[in-house]
Structure 1
Amino acid sequence: MKTKNIFKLLFFFFGILIFFSACTNELDVTPKDDDEFLSEDFYASTDSYRQALAGIYGNLSLTGTTGPASSNLQGIDAGTSQYGRTLWYLQDLAADEVIWSYENDEGGAVKAIQRNTWSSSNTILLGFFSRAMFSVALTNDFLRQSSEENLASRGHSAISSEIKTYRAEARLLRALAYYHLMDLFGKAAFVTENDPIGVYQGPEYNREQLFTFIESELKAIEGDLVGANQNEYARADKAVAWMILAKMYLNAEVYIGQNKYTECLTYCNKIIGGGFSLASNYSYNFLADNDYNEAGQNEIIFPLVVDSKVTQNWGPTTVIINGEVGSLEGNAVALGVDNGWGGALRVRKQFADKFLNGDVPLTDKRNTLTTEGREVEIIDVGDRDSGYIISKYKNIGVDGSRGGVHFEFVNTDFPLFRLADVYLMYAEAVVRGGSGGTMGEAVVYVNALRNRANSTTITSNDLTLNFLIDERSRELHWEGHRRQDLIRFGLFTGGNYNWAWKGGSPNGIALSSHLDIYPMPANNMAANPNLTQNPGY
């Protein structure tokens, strides 16, 4: 079982400051630093390796060193470069579940994402690509600094076994960044610790090359990672590596044109056997104490840390919870924030229908829709009084108390990976013909989720791909999976499934297939001539 989170307190950017001189051009974007530390001075202390590792983790949560509005990426706003927030925009705001009322935010970048009219100049694309490459650069420098040769030269040989685990975690975080870049952009600049310092502009790796690297990297480090569900909360262990592999294999037909559902089942089975269990209450995954309640201890496999005191940031759950506050309802305190943003987030009709069309009972606890006094249709995106709202995430603990000390910010961690997703991946891989699982077991796993939600149970006859794509939305909505899921099911582009404001039309229109991959950001291409634009842009 995960230990109570102490590592969370180290999520600050002191450790990151030392990397800037080594990382500047690997990012294809320029970091800012007014107070660089010399690596040799910093690493004279053995504690510094843990702090430096915390800095790499911190890059998933923070954007700068001087508060939530600061950005350590030159020329990129904190709101458009926070890892989890931009990932959430690109996976969920671009799909059929959520809509953002203030379309002029970020210079219209939000409007372009949610209407599927983006271009290579979109600042949200630039922000995520640059932030993910920052993770790569930070990891590369950490691996150079923690080599056996450098440890010995500093007299740190006695801690080499502990550093071995740190290095494995760092390599996993680099693999995670490349996994997201592969999924979203289909390519990335490829740089590792083995490239000489001073070689900054890595060659372009396509999806097949990235897939091969991530797969081999995660398998190579497995033995050096802490056992599944055994590390400190918010630190990676074997199960996080297995999760990335399972998701890669589930999507392998999209990524590399190969069926790898059997491999997906292999890693789903490893995770399921890794000591995790469902929290007794669905909502526990999305509360302010989800770092140590049942969900944090047992169901959440890997979170992005959010803390209103230690890691104040404009990340995904701060945006979501403030955005959930309705323009009509006055429900800010009930969600655990002071005021909220007055109807910033609402749901699209097609998402609401997944709970209201009779496929599940109204008692399904995953349904947190507020419908009273509202119309489901959103005719005008800027009309915050139209459309239903939800209250899935809250800055409230299990005991009902508000989380944290600064209620504009929240204490609710973002569950990037959790066991419920593994159950649904297992079921899908079985339905798609993978070996290593059974239909009977798949039904058991799906029904475990539906029983927890006080929903109806299913039989093997109900377990179809059409059922699963809707069930994934009911279980995993607003958790950063939807675009990827729709692409895998052939429903994101084309006209087989349209949703409100798809393609910019109130009723939705067909999308060109080239939109299954985002364009390479123009600024990153300008900084690295090895990068080429994706087809259609």
Structure 2
Amino acid sequence: MKTKYIHKFYFFLGFLFILSACTNDLDVIPKDDDEFLSEDFYANPNSYKQALAGIYGNLSLTGTSGSGSSNLQGIDAGTSQYARTLWYLQDLAADEPIWSYENDEGGAVKEIQRNTWGPNNTILLGFFSRAMYTVALTNDFLRQSSPEALEARGHTSKVGNDIVAYRAEARLLRALAYYHLMDLFGKAAFVTENDPVGVYQGPQYNRAQLFDFIESELLDIEGDLVAPQQNEYARADKAVAWTILAKIYLNANVYIGQDKNTECITYTKKVIGGGFSLASDYGLNFLADNDFNEAGKNEIIFPLVCDGIVTQNYGATTVIINGEVGSLESNTAELGAQGWGGALRVRKQFSNKFLNGDVPLTDDRNTLITAGRTADIVDVGDRDSGFIITKFKNVTSTGEAGPDPTFVDTDFPMFRLADIYLMYAEAVVRGGAGGSMTDAVNYVNLLRNRAHSATISASSLTLPFLIDERSRELYWEGHRRQDLIRFGLYTGGNYNWAFKGGSASGIALPSHLNVYPIPANNMAANPNLTQNPGY
């Protein structure tokens, strides 16, 4: 089983060593090869674990000298934090949250939540650059930890078998970055450790090429990864690789025009058989001690770490929890955060998924606060309109607030078992082989029973049901845009939501918005990149 580990200091320490220099070029080309790690650093065999920690740290931190520091020069630290920008591009761009302060990031937030973005949007630049930096860090680590490099330093026996798992984890993190780039942008520059040192402007890979690489990488490293739930907290294991594979297979029709629901069932079954179980209470997944309460031990497959003291930054959970503090409500104590005066609310279409009678109002997943508020948001700047939620909290399961009222302790659950259950059910409904409708219904009802909601029968397990159920279970966890695209509900006018396309009532979106534009700065830095159609 996972054990509580001083992981937050561990990540910070590794990040400090690896990312001590800043990147001037917004294609994340280091100023020189010394940006990464010198031979002196690797003279110590213990440094390999610290270097691996730095790659993990790139998912949680932005720099090494406080919350406002960034190793990507020219971009605001918050605008390049991995989880925060991913959350913006997956959830804020869809039908769930809305951000009150639309001029933030020079209007970039407004463009994302109104679906009016272009290649100069700084949030797009931040995520693309941060993901490519994971690629660059991984490539350097793999070069430095090759059998030849270890032998030259006399480290082969000193690092033992650990280095095999370290290298597999690094390759998984690179595959994760390319998975997100494939999903969001449809293409990316492709560079591996096999390219010469100093080569960072890789050729452009399209979705099919990225899909093949991600799939082959994860299959190749499967045997070298630690078994499910046997690694230190927040480090990847086989289940994380299986989850990413299940994700790309479930979305394969979008990515490569092929049905791979059978493969999705295969890999969700692997995760389900990996010893995970649901936390007894839904809310445990989103608390300040979700690193070691029931959720962290049993349900969360892969978190991005956050600590209010050691890893202070304006990442996803800090933004979410401070944003949940309402403009009318005195709910700072409940959330364990001082708040930002009603920064986040929900769109009417989301709140209706809990209020339209499909689930009881007492469903535990319903964290809406509606008293004294209206569901409709006419003016985005009116923080008193629209319902708010209290899903994520900077409070532990024993009621203790996190040590800092701004920078939260709550880890971001990138992957958890509940999603796997819903993915399995969807793949079965879509006709994948190797699963059963009985198991699919059972998995959905396990989630509903935990939430004290109404159970369903097989006749109710349909695609329209599942897209709404995924929202009820997984809202604000960074999945929504991807889900709506897979169901054919993101672009076009079959489903509109408040401020979709910039209109208060929502309008149809052109199909090219199913992928984001390649950021202009990244294209300028790498002439191999071409712009997506429509931009």
User: Under TM normalisation by the shorter chain, which class is it?
Assistant: over 0.9
2:161 partner SS: helix
- Aligned equivalent of 1:486: 484
Task: Give the counterpart letter for 1:93 in structure 2.
Answer: L
Change (3 A) 1:398 1:191: same
Change (3 A) 1:514 1:334: same
How far apart are the structure 2 equivalents of 1:475 and 1:52? Answer: 36
- Aligned equivalent of 1:242: 242
How far apart are the structure 1 equivalents of 2:127 and 2:368? Answer: 30
1:311 Cα shift? 1.0
- Aligned equivalent of 2:174: 174
Change (3 A) 1:206 1:36: closer
Task: Give the counterpart letter for 2:42 in structure 1.
Answer: Y
Contact 1:31 1:72 in 2 (8 A): no
- Aligned equivalent of 2:345: 346
How far apart are the structure 1 equivalents of 2:88 and 2:322? Answer: 15
1:512-523 → structure 2 map (5 Å cutoff):
512-523=510-521
1:129-181 CA-to-partner distances (Å, cap 9, x unmatched) read 00000000000000000001111111101124111110000000000000000
Task: Give the counterpart letter for 1:261 in structure 2.
Answer: N
1:333 Cα shift? 1.5
Contact 2:27 2:129 in 1 (8 A): yes
Match of 2:507 among 506, 509, 514: 509
Q: Which runs of 4+ in 1 moved over 3 A?
A: 13-25, 29-38
- Aligned equivalent of 1:426: 424
Change (3 A) 1:501 1:24: closer
How far apart are the structure 2 equivalents of 1:21 and 1:387? Answer: 43
- Aligned equivalent of 1:139: 138
Match status 1:368 vs 2:344: no
Match status 1:45 vs 2:24: no
Task: Give the counterpart letter for 1:80 in structure 2.
Answer: T
How far apart are the structure 2 equivalents of 1:125 and 1:236? Answer: 26
How far apart are the structure 2 equivalents of 1:32 and 1:365? Answer: 50
- Aligned equivalent of 2:85: 86
1:97-116 → structure 2 map (5 Å cutoff):
97-116=96-115
How far apart are the structure 1 equivalents of 2:14 and 2:66? Answer: 13
1:12 Cα shift? 1.5
1:402 partner SS: coil
1:11 partner SS: helix
- Aligned equivalent of 2:462: 464
How far apart are the structure 1 equivalents of 2:34 and 2:14? Answer: 10
- Aligned equivalent of 2:203: 203
1:13-92 → structure 2 map (5 Å cutoff):
14-15=14-15, 17-18=17-18, 28-29=27-28, 39-92=38-91
Contact 1:324 1:390 in 2 (8 A): yes
1:179-198 → structure 2 map (5 Å cutoff):
179-198=179-198
Change (3 A) 1:33 1:346: farther
Match of 2:475 among 474, 477, 489: 477
How far apart are the structure 2 equivalents of 1:37 and 1:514? Answer: 37
1:23 Cα shift? 8.2
Change (3 A) 1:408 1:16: closer
How far apart are the structure 1 equivalents of 2:254 and 2:531? Answer: 19
1:425-481 CA-to-partner distances (Å, cap 9, x unmatched) read 000000000001000100000000000000000000000000000000000000000
How far apart are the structure 2 equivalents of 1:174 and 1:18? Answer: 16
Task: Give the counterpart letter for 1:529 in structure 2.
Answer: P
How far apart are the structure 1 equivalents of 2:382 and 2:10? Answer: 42
1:109 partner SS: helix
Root mean square deviation, CA, Å: 1.6
Task: Give the counterpart letter for 1:344 in structure 2.
Answer: A
1:14 Cα shift? 4.9
- Count of aligned pairs: 534
Change (3 A) 1:199 1:56: same
Task: Give the counterpart letter for 2:460 in structure 1.
Answer: D
1:498-533 CA-to-partner distances (Å, cap 9, x unmatched) read 000000000000000000000000000000000000
- Aligned equivalent of 1:406: 404
Match status 1:495 vs 2:502: no
Contact 2:189 2:202 in 1 (8 A): yes
Contact 2:136 2:200 in 1 (8 A): no
Change (3 A) 1:138 1:388: same
Task: Give the counterpart letter for 1:433 in structure 2.
Answer: G
Change (3 A) 1:13 1:126: farther
Change (3 A) 1:370 1:15: closer
Contact 1:30 1:74 in 2 (8 A): no
1:74 Cα shift? 1.4
- Aligned equivalent of 1:96: 95
Contact 1:13 1:65 in 2 (8 A): no
- Aligned equivalent of 1:280: 280
1:200 Cα shift? 2.2
How far apart are the structure 2 equivalents of 1:22 and 1:237? Answer: 30
Contact 1:83 1:315 in 2 (8 A): yes
1:406 Cα shift? 1.8
- Aligned equivalent of 1:532: 530
2:12 partner SS: coil
1:259 partner SS: coil
1:9 Cα shift? 2.1
**Greater Cα shift, 304-313 or 341-350:** 304-313
Contact 2:93 2:115 in 1 (8 A): yes
How far apart are the structure 2 equivalents of 1:521 and 1:215? Answer: 26
Contact 2:429 2:437 in 1 (8 A): yes
How far apart are the structure 2 equivalents of 1:13 and 1:80? Answer: 22
How far apart are the structure 2 equivalents of 1:196 and 1:485? Answer: 38
- Aligned equivalent of 1:311: 311
Change (3 A) 1:13 1:387: same
Task: Give the counterpart letter for 1:346 in structure 2.
Answer: R
How far apart are the structure 2 equivalents of 1:104 and 1:176? Answer: 31
1:190-211 CA-to-partner distances (Å, cap 9, x unmatched) read 0000000122210000000000
How far apart are the structure 1 equivalents of 2:368 and 2:33? Answer: 47
Match status 1:153 vs 2:155: no
Contact 2:299 2:417 in 1 (8 A): yes
Scaled by the length of structure 2, the TM-score of the pair is: 0.98
1:8 Cα shift? 2.9
How far apart are the structure 1 equivalents of 2:18 and 2:422? Answer: 42
1:332 Cα shift? 1.0
How far apart are the structure 1 equivalents of 2:37 and 2:397? Answer: 45
Task: Give the counterpart letter for 1:362 in structure 2.
Answer: L
How far apart are the structure 2 equivalents of 1:51 and 1:188? Answer: 28
Contact 1:366 1:475 in 2 (8 A): yes
1:257-302 CA-to-partner distances (Å, cap 9, x unmatched) read 0000000000000000000000000000000000000000000000
1:322 Cα shift? 0.2
Contact 2:29 2:200 in 1 (8 A): no
How far apart are the structure 2 equivalents of 1:60 and 1:258? Answer: 30
1:51-77 CA-to-partner distances (Å, cap 9, x unmatched) read 000000000000001011100001111
How far apart are the structure 2 equivalents of 1:143 and 1:22? Answer: 21
**Greater Cα shift, 155-164 or 389-398:** 155-164
